[in-house]
Amino acid sequence: MEANQKTITLLKPTECFVGSPDRKVLSKVFRFVDFGDTANKFLQLCGTQKDPSPAQIATKILDNPSYFYDMCGETEQCVFSISHFSRSPHGTPDTSMRYGVLVYKSIAWIDH
């Protein structure tokens, strides 16, 4: 493959998110696409979401906590990301907070 050629990756609507992530670390952990307003609306009708839910973020972190920590770049950013999604409007406060606590405990050992 030549240096100026791009690789095309086919994804299911449930394997990516439309638009730009509201937090930089999410773009390193999840795949985001942006094909413009019309195409993005179509993708949302097909099941693509704008942002990952707290459950999706927690699952990704719990699958590989050290990778998430590395993508954050520092402990403060990692803790901020976890606390931010634990207050997310996507889930109930009780459920979101449980994910936040679980994830925080799973990566707390990495910084020590």
Domain limits, the chain: 12-50, 53-112
Q: What is the DSSP letter of 46?
A: T
What pLDDT is stored for residue 97 in this prediction?
Answer: 56
What pLDDT is stored for residue 13 in this prediction?
Answer: 87
What pLDDT is stored for residue 110 in this prediction?
Answer: 52
Task: Encode pLDDT of 8-54 as tens digits.
Answer: 889 888 889 998 887 777 888 889 999 999 999 999 999 999 988 87
Rounded to the nearest 5°, which phi and psi values hold at 90? -70, -25
Span of 4-8, 28-32, 89-93 with lowest mean pLDDT: 89-93
Is the CB of residue 91 less than 8 Å from the CB of residue 100? no
CA-closest candidate to residue 58, choices 98, 14, 93: 98
Residue 99 has pLDDT above 90, yes or no: no
Is the CB of residue 107 less than 8 Å from the CB of residue 64? no
Task: Encode pLDDT of 55-82 as tens digits.
Answer: 788 788 778 888 877 887 776 667 666 6
Residue with the larger pLDDT of the pair 44 and 92 = 44
Across the chain, how many H-helices and E-strands are there?
Answer: 6, 2
